[in-house]
Structure 1
Amino acid sequence: MLLWFPTPYPDELLYSVFARYHVRSGNTSPKMTTEELFGKRTIRSVWDLPANLNTLLSRMGSYWDGDNLIFNHTMYSYYAAFLLPKQAEQVKKSMMGNKGITIHTRIGVSASNVKTKTNLWVCSDCIKEDMDKYGETYWHRIHQAPGVFICPKHETILEETTVSTKTENQHEYVIATPFIERTRVNLDGLQKEELQLLLKIAQITESLLTNSHLQTQDNTIREKYVELLKQKGFASPNGFVKRDKLYQSFTSKFSDRCLELLQSPVLFEETNWLTMIFQKHRKSFHPIRHILVMLFLETDLDHLFNKEQYHPFGKGPWLCLNVACPNYHKPVVTSLTITRCYDTGKPVGTFRCDCGFVFSRRGPDKNSNDRYRIGTIKEYGKVWKDKLTELVNEGYSLTDISKELQTERATIKKYAAELGLKVPWKLPKIEKDNPKELLEQYEDQLAERKNKWLELQELYPEKSKTELRKMAPDVYAFLYRNDRDWLNKYSPSKKRIQPPKQRVNWDKRDKEILKMVKEVVRTWDLGAEKPTRITKTSIGKKINQLSLLEKKGDKLPKTMNYISQVEESLESFQMRRVEFVIEKLKQEEQPIIEWQIYKKAGLRPTISNEVKRFISLKVTEYETVNKKHV
């Protein structure tokens, strides 16, 4: 049993609590501290997602609670929010038990392209505040999360310390002090909007850590994403994602510089994270990428983790807003159609009452008063027209009728003329050859043609305004006559004029691409932490010409011939990994042992005999050279 244990501070890493215990206990070795905490010396001091908590709790006494330690003093809340329910539960069990080796694999961190911070980070303002309040400082969780470069509390840029989080330091407990060596993170050159984005990410990350958000069913977040994509026009009604439009809008919202900083670059390809995150979640996606999608779709954590569906106008039935209807201001409307506003992307609700009154308004409703609001009246209906006829026949004045029906005088005149009512005031002229239906449905016809024009652009994004005009001349002509400004605003912009039928000089292109390929192969894996396999796909990605190599490879004979010469088979790549590991072991002055090579090179025992012989040969060569020196 532990006789005492430090009380964790708000948002303090459990690792930090252990470090404070280590210093105050007077232990000269961190392994002594580990033995006191866990009963044995082999437990690693993992900073983010520690395990063996059941053992720790059994030695601390009944006062302490496992959920409190996990949710408030580890990074579990940050990662678990976006895991499938079974995954999140398994990770929690692993942390409580002794299966710590599986945790980072389960949450997808090990295989993720988004890497954790290599050192612990701090905020100078938080340090000052901690010292004033507690007389000491500590490691804050929020400062260690990937993608957090700014303190959400003080809005100051964070500083990176020299305290490493790598495996070689996972048997130590380093305490945070106000004098710890640190360097301010360099964010020079970022625009104001980019810094605001980083601040928003830090604020959302803080909310993830402090409020426990967990999925209760598989793919609930993905379903919310698709729902929002539909509302914003990035997916069809059946959920098919319009990738061209999505990628174009996403990259225009977030700069390449910010996406690189957040380790989430966007490439238009099937395996890119932005494509796969909207598919059924069979794998884990890093929280920073979910946060980017949330900001792009203009939603929040409360909406994502709310079990109920998104209702921008509340749940029906809705109020009838026809003043002439006996059910005025009563919840009798059951017909609601939700579309998207072309200008703002916000939801537009069209409400239809049995009295024939049809109206719409742009949402979402923000308060209870919004349900009484009318944006546009699309159809007044029979009940309203009968009431107008009644008021006219009873001799009411134009002003009184306008007040009674809460409608503009011009509208009263228009419908009085259409209904052929005898009134003492002057009516607008209606030409005999102008159909009555045209007046009533003009706005609907205009909206319908606008919708068709936008649909054409979605179906044929590569076509120009002139080409679209030829495909739908009637739609174009109607819009040109009735709303030319809208047509000009929502048409494809003029493309740079190029010579017609310009032919590509493939020989020249082949030489240019070959030069790029040779250069990237020459510097392959230069400065990399681990080697990558040389293939046509990996080369294409590095030179940003994968599509060209895959679709036009037959027109690039010199390039493809060179690639076929330098491409690595699986065995040759495994041998190169072996050489890479051996060279690293030599630099670190560590012994060259077969089992260590297998482990560090990530090779399984099922590798080919040729690779096994290669490893044995290299080990033998090393031993022979060492004997000669001895």
Structure 2
Amino acid sequence: MLAQFPVLYPDEDFRSIVYRYHVLSGNKDFSVTNSDLFNRKNYDNTVFPRNLSYLMMRLPSDFIPIEKFLHDHTYFCWLRPFIPSNRLDSIMDEIMFNKGESNIVILLGKGSGKLLSENYRYCPACIANDETLYGEVYLHRKHQLSFLTCCPEHGYELLTQCTNCGVKFENSLVTSSLCVCGFDFSKNDKEQKRLDSIKSEQELLLNFEQLSKSRENLEEILLKMRNVLGLKGYMKYSGRMNRKNLIEDFMVYLADNNYNRFLKIDVNSQIKTDAYILSGHQVKSIIFYILFMMFLSGSVEEFLLDNSAFSIPIPFGNGPWICHNSVCPEFNKPIIRKCIRIDHQGKYISGLFGCPMCGFCFAKRWRFTDKGEERPYAVLTMGHLWNSILADLHSSGFSNTEISVKLNTTPTQIQRALTRIRTPKLDKRIPQSLNILWSSLSLHNEVATASEVVSHFNENRVRIIELLRKNVCITRTELAKKHSHLYHKMLREDRKWMEQVLPSSKRNKVRIDWERLDKHYSDEVIVAADEVYRKNPSEQIKKYTILSYAPKFIKEHIEYASEKLPKTIAMLNSRIETDEQYLLRHLPVIISQMKKYNKKVYSLKNVKTFSPMYRKSTEELDKQLIIQLNDLMEKG
């Protein structure tokens, strides 16, 4: 049990609590303070606690619940909604037991996109109030949020240094209103801003607080975001976003509300792909997500309360559909029972329809923005019945005009149809659609023949092969320039075959030799691990401890392409220090500390009394520890 611990103040930053204990304890070295509170020999006052359970065990049981401590005095409540469910347990293990390396600090952002200010910040009015109410000054969490320039309550510009002597607060926190130079911080002469001039800062803070009170996890937030995007018309039928309109509207919203100054990142890069914004794997800025929720629903609170579901109607309905061929026995009757729907990269859906009675085929387009409006159809082929009647009438001596009346069309269309009969070459705009349609209908026994289908793919494949044969050294770029329509058409319709026959792209010519890199990285990990163990750090040697001694690019490759580096990963895991290995290696340090504090070192029981982490030792490990302890005692 700790002999003394400071009273916790409203919205007090965790770092302030630790610092006030440090001052109260009289410890000269901050590592001693960290050892007292968290059983960690660390010289830094970190943003998040590590091994918080150790501190809680040394405080009265009714002092403060752990969850309330994390919510009221750390930035965990601001970050929790953006932590994937599969990472939450590892992060809690790091905070509570100093176990693993979850890198929770990454969510705070980096560079210009950081959520927290680089320097400690104070409001002069809050300093005066705190000293009056509590007799001392402390660090307020809200003041550290990077998007705030002024205190949201008083309007004073936040201080990062003494305005008299210029000494920054970065090296030591403030616990009194007086600077070492004698200047009273609360008497700061900077002008108080009107609260309405910092309205946008207050609004953003309010929305942050709304999210911090929510219990929804990242997956639920992203699903809700997808629904709202769909309801707002930003989602295509394919499930992808309409990025252009979304970015334009979002940028207008930011400018109109004076929010664009808060967003230090490039919006285009954050909404670069659906995977960035709707997966959460590439969260670059929490502020971006807060502003994005405000843009979609007006406020974070309204966004969280919105339980609307987004769904897309079935394009062209469920059928059946009517035949538009006037010579068909089933004309204007719902005879067509199958529709082939084709997604055109989310831009629109095309529907292919074929009458099983007369062979009449047509196509229609559908867009989500049509709102149920009926679009005209385009004829693919009039069908075998219509064509046979045309041929009979023409051979009987009827003129084009007379035939057009009987077939309910125009003389021009009759002339074109007769030309196609004489020259059996199908319109190149429609053969693929006919191929897809008739193949599908044939499988369902809805047609008896597919005689009108031309092997469009085979024709174009022959053309591509011929071009490659005549131009042996041609590149993809040159082929695309000289035969743009054919090249891009075949890439859309027959990409797999094209990739097999086309010359290698420049992008594929220089491939990363992952096998060679894996061997090299594995050797580098061995060197790094040896160096770490040689230095004998006081902390347990874990994955990122070793990687910190290895070249930086190895860590980057492991994070983004670990599946391609099996040897490196295996070697890294084999060099990570287990709990048992750490207890054995760290025993000399513990003995040294015990002697420093004049503690008796007679047995392993004394060690376990002094250092709680040794209480988790197994019976087998105890035997090894006793042997090592005896050796250390003999050596003096």
Q: Normalised by the size of structure 2, how large is the TM-score?
A: 0.43
Q: Normalised by the size of structure 1, how large is the TM-score?
A: 0.43
* Rg (Cα) greater in structure: 2
